[in-house]
Amino acid sequence: MLDQIKSLVQEVQAAQPASAEELEVYRLKYLSRKGIIPSLFEDLKQLPPEKKKETGKPLNELKQLAEGKFKEWSEKLSQSTQATSSGIDLTLPPVPDTLGSLHPLTLTRYRIIEIFERLGFTVADGPEIEDDWHNFSALNFPENHPAREMQDTFFIDRNPDALLRTHTSNVQIRLMEKQRPPLRAIMPGRVYRNEAISARAHCFFHQVEGLYVDRHVGFADLKQTLYHFSKEMFGKDTKIRLRPSFFPFTEPSAEIDVSCFICGGKGCNICKHSGWVEIAGSGMVHPNVLRHVNIDPEEFTGFAFGMGIERVTMLRYGINDLRLFSENDVRFLKQFKPVF
C-alpha cells in the first residue's frame, strides 16, 4: 500500500487539468466518495495497528496534496472563464468616467441663495398649484386684472379655484400668514405663464422672490440690498438704476437695472446698446397686502423684489436662447462647472 501511495503522489503532482471537465474527471478519480483516496482510507481501517500508523501519515499527506491541487485548479479555471465568458477584454483602457454637472439654473439659484443668506435671509418654499387668493387677491390684484385672464394664467379649475402660480409672490402671502415680523426670506421656485414659446419666453420659468418685513424698513434698505446683491452677482464695479414702475402689491414700485457688465456700460448686444440690463421688479409692500395677512401697516413696513433666474443666468453665462434650459441637450449642459 505504501508503494501505491507513493506512485499516487507522483500522479497527482503531475496532473494538469486544463478545463472544468478535466478537473471533474480528476475529482471523481481521486477525491469523490468512490475515488481512490477515500477507498484507501477504507483499506487503512483493515490494517493491523502498527501498520496503520506507518501508512496513515503518507495517506493523509496524499489527501491534502490532492485537495490542494483541486482547489488551486478550480480557482484558476473560474477566473479565466469569468474573464472570457463575460466578453470583457481586460487589456482595454477603461471607459471614461462621465460625471454629471449641475444645471446652470441650479448653479445660479445656489449663488443667489448664498448671497442673500449672508444678509440674514432664509429660504422659503410654496406650492406651484395655487389658489386665487394667494396668487392674486391677497396681493391686491383687482378683480378684473388682465393677469387673471385665460391667456396669461393656466387655470386648472375655476371653481374651486386652482391655477398654476404666475409668480413666486404667493409664497410672500403664505409666509406672512404663518409667521409674524421680523421676516426676511427669499423664495426661489418655478412659475407658469401661458406665453408662446420663443428665445425670450417660455410657458414656465423660475423666479426668486425676496421679502423683508419689520419695523422701520425703508426704501433705502431695498436699494442697498439690491445694490449689494448686484455687485456680488455681477462684479464689484456694477452700478444699479431704479426706474418707476407698477405692481399691484407694491407701492412705490421700481424696476431694477444693472449696468451692463459685458461692455461696462458703453453699449453692446446684451444690453441692446443702452448700457443697462433689467434684472428685477421691486417695491415697498402695499399696505393692503399687509392688512390681508393681519400685519398692521402702521407698525410694520417691508420691501419685496422678484427676479427671473433664467434672466440672471443668461446674463451671467452669455446665453441667448431661453429654450436651451429645458431641451436637455447634454452638449449644452456639460459646459457648466459647479462653483462650490
Where do contacts with ligand PHE occur on this chain (CB under 6 A)? 167, 169, 209, 247, 250, 281-283, 304-306
Least distance in angstroms from the C-beta of 315 to ligand PHE: 17
Nearest residue to ligand PHE, using CB?
A: 306
How does DSSP classify residue 139?
Answer: G
Residue number with CB closer to ligand PHE (260 or 304):
304
- Least gap, CB of 150 to ligand PHE (angstroms): 18
C-beta of 247 vs 276, nearer to ligand PHE = 247
* Residue 308 CB, nearest approach to ligand PHE (Å): 8
- Give the shortest CB-174-to-ligand PHE separation in angstroms: 14
Nearer to ligand PHE, 30 or 136 (CB): 136
Cβ neighbors of 12 (< 8 A, separation 6 or more) are: 30, 62, 65, 66, 69
DSSP 289-316: HHHHTT--TTT-EEEEEEEEHHHHHHHH
Backbone angles phi, psi at 306, to 5 degrees: -145, 135
Q: How far is CA 135 from CA 153, 187, 212, 282, in A?
A: 10, 14, 19, 17
CB closer to ligand PHE out of 183 and 304 = 304
Inter-helix orientation angle 36-46/49-85, to 10°:
170
Least Å distance, CB 299 to ligand PHE, is: 21
- Bridge partners (DSSP) of residue 259 are 276
Separation between Cα atoms, residue 205 and residue 147, nearest integer Å: 16
Q: What is the CA 283 to chain-centroid distance, rounded? A: 33
> Considering beta carbons, is residue 261 or 305 the nearer one to ligand PHE?
305
